[in-house]
Structure formats: structure tokens, C-alpha cells
Amino acid sequence: MRPGDKTPIHLRLRADFGLTHEEGACLPLRSRHGQCHACVDACPARALSVTIAAVELSDACTGCGVCTAVCPTQALVLPEMADWAGPVTPIAEPMTRRVECRKVPLQAHRAETTVLPCLGALTPGHLLARAAAGIEVQVVDRGWCQGCEAGCQDTPAGHPASSALAAAALWLESVGSERRPMLVREPLPLTLRPAAIPPAPEEAPALDRRRFFRAALERPSGRQRAQATPMGGDGRAAYPADARQPAPERERQRLALERLSQDLGTAMPAEFYPQLHADARCCDRRMCAALCPTAALTVVDGGAAAHLQWSSERCIACGTCVRACPETALSLSAHGGAAGRHTLASHLRARCPSCGDAYTPTEEQAPAAAPALCPTCAKSRRFMDDARRQLFGALN
């Protein structure tokens, strides 16, 4: 992403696979405090590796898309899931949409069927968005997940889509909705199951000249993939706060639950919103705001005072802010909060008599007859004083 441009660029991790990655949204690449390895842990083929410098995809990748379902910021995207990622238009009459694994032969499909590379690529947001639009989703289980040669193994929950189905059902119940996505078991003989996930049907991609040229500038032909610059050492994020976007999956869930609660006349569940608190140790370092991947944390500087504000609707409870705070002043809980923007801390501001910049005084810099210097000028003053002592002896 270039300065001033808020459109994210997803680039392929490998030329022969459709899986794309946006470095600016990837938590480990944004900061050493990101510490997210959700995609690595979820990958059934162990094809992904993540460091603070790069995300790499090996030849073992089967293209199942399970990694995209667990990525908290959707830095990983499978183009085949684009229809599920977009907004869903409410329908007048309820309908049923069946979801099948791509390994299932077309002749076994019936009714309205959507084909995915793996049913583990579904997320709670995908299911909630359709429930809010009046679409009943039936995830069809053919009994092929256990021992799947493509690596999309049956999970301890019983099916790759089980966790998404369970989470969606709990949220729907919390707002009083009777709609539930369901797992429909319709076994097929294992002899029909192919060894690998068939490739997606080829479609002519829509030509987007602007994205094409931007991608060409980001990664010119014949050059090596540019290494991401590790951040977090000085608290400055590579992407400005106004260019950071809410997490798509989080937004899908929130908008769906808000629509359902409005239709049903119920309240949004408090469990949906995280809780974040700042104690008295907060001293306006602003590391948390600089490194927050979704700009849930911002600083409003009114001149006389600066206010650390937090949006519970944007927060994904990743914990980056808690780990980055030098004073360990922040505490986070993933559930039980309240919707809206909250002021976590306020700090009085002073004007440096030397450089004129505004700064937040420390407790040692209590109001005095003469205003204190800002930290930068005070450091420069100490440096000059030390230099004079070494050259000319003690100062009078």
C-alpha cells in the first residue's frame, strides 16, 4: 500500500497458487509484538511458515483455504471465496443454500449448491451474513474428511466446518434468532473421492488496470519478492492509521448480528465486544495506537490534552497493544465489553519553551514556575552539559 492510498494489495505467495497475502494486514509482519501463527497452526498440510520478515508457502499447499478462515485480519485470501466475502443482499422469501467440497462429483449435487475447495474455509461470518439475509446454509458432509489425501483431515470437533457452525449457532442464539446453519450428513462411497482437490474452474479475471499497474510497481517482473521491514522497534507503523481497515471477518459478524438484533428487537450480545482498560501507568507513549492493526486505538490530541480512545467494534483482541505497551498499562479481555468508542486515558499536554512542540509531562515534571523542556530537548540539554563538563570541568 502506498502513502495516501487505502486500497490493500494482495500478492500471490506462489505464482502457481491463487492464495494471496497482504503484508500490511499480517500481524507478525506489522510488528514483533504481533506473534500470530494462526495460519501455521491451522494448515493441514503444514505448508505455511511465518516469521517477522516473511510469510512463505511450500509445495505442500493443497489450496484448501483453511488458513484464510483463521487469519484474524484476512491478510490471507483465496479468490475462490470472493463470493462469500462480499455483502449478502437480504431476500424476501427464505431459501436454502447447500455447500459442498469440490471433490464431490457434480452429479451428486442438488438444489442450490456452492462449491468450495474445502469446507474448512468457511467462517462464522460467512454463515451469519447469510442467516441475516434469510438464507439457510446446509454444509454437506459426505464422510470424506477423515483420511482425506489432500490433507484437509477431520478435526477433533468432528468436521472441518464444525467450529464455524458452532460459533455461528451460538451468536444466532444470543440474539434470539431461530435460524441455524446446519451440517447435513449425506455419505458417499470413498471410492468416488479423488486423491487431490480438483482445480477451480478457470474464469477470465476482470481487468482492473489500476490494481494491475500498482501490483507491477510493488513487485516488478524478474525481481525477488521484497522482504518486509520488521516494525515495532520505534513504535511507528508502516501504514498510517487512516489506511488501516477493520478486519473483514469481524465486520461480517458485527453487521450480521446488528441486522438480526434490529429485526428481532433484541440487544447485541455483550460477549461480542472485547474489553480494554488502561491504568495509571499509561504515560502517552502511543506505541499501542501506532501498532494496532485495525486502528481500534487512536489518539485525539486537542492541544491542552491528549485522549487515548478505543473502538470495541474494530478491536479483534489480538493483544498487540498489551504486549507493546512499555509500561504494561493495558489489560484486555476478549468478551464482555460494550459497543462504541471509549476513552481509556487522558493526559495534560505542555508546550516546550525551547522547540515549541507539545508533549506530555512526566510525574517528575510537575508544573513549576518555568515550563519544563520536552524529552527531546531535555536529552539534548543533558548531552551538552555532559560535553561541557568533560571539556571545561564542573559548571557553576
100: DSSP letter: E
pLDDT of residue 364: 55
Nearest to 250 by CA among 125, 341, 131: 125
pLDDT of residue 393: 67
Question: Residue 182 in contact with residue 272, Cβ under 8 Å?
Answer: no
pLDDT of residue 254: 96
pLDDT of residue 5: 52
Cα distance between residue 182 and residue 392, in whole Å: 82
φ, ψ of residue 167 to 5 degrees: the values are -65, -45
List alpha helices for the chain, DSSP H: 27-30, 38-42, 66-70, 82-85, 124-132, 162-174, 209-218, 248-264, 287-291, 320-324, 375-392
Q: How confident is the model at residue 391 (pLDDT cuts 50, 70, 90)?
A: confident
Q: Tell me the average pLDDT of the chain.
A: 82
Q: How confident is the model at residue 241 (pLDDT cuts 50, 70, 90)?
A: low
pLDDT of residue 332: 96
Q: What is the pLDDT of residues 314-363, one digit of tens each?
A: 999 999 999 999 999 999 999 999 999 999 998 887 777 777 677 777 65
Overall average pLDDT of the 247-259 stretch:
95
Q: Can you list the positions of beta strands (E) in the chain?
A: 11-12, 20-21, 48-50, 55-57, 76-77, 95-101, 113-116, 135-141, 182-185, 275-278, 297-301, 305-311, 330-333, 341-348, 350-351, 358-359
Q: CA-based Rg of the chain, rounded to a whole angstrom?
A: 26
Higher-confidence residue of 4 and 342: namely 342
Q: How confident is the model at residue 7 (pLDDT cuts 50, 70, 90)?
A: low
Higher-confidence residue of 97 and 206: namely 97
Higher-confidence residue of 31 and 46: namely 46
Question: Residue 108 in contact with residue 188, Cβ under 8 Å?
Answer: yes
Our measurement of the distance from residue 107's CA atom to the centroid of its chain's CA atoms, rounded to an integer in Å, reads: 38
Higher-confidence residue of 349 and 98: namely 98
pLDDT at 218 over 80: no
Give the percent of the chain with pLDDT over 90. Answer: 50
Least confident of 63-77, 124-138, 186-200, 368-382: 368-382
pLDDT of residue 206: 47
Cα distance between residue 191 and residue 255, in whole Å: 42
Least confident of 223-232, 278-287, 370-379: 223-232
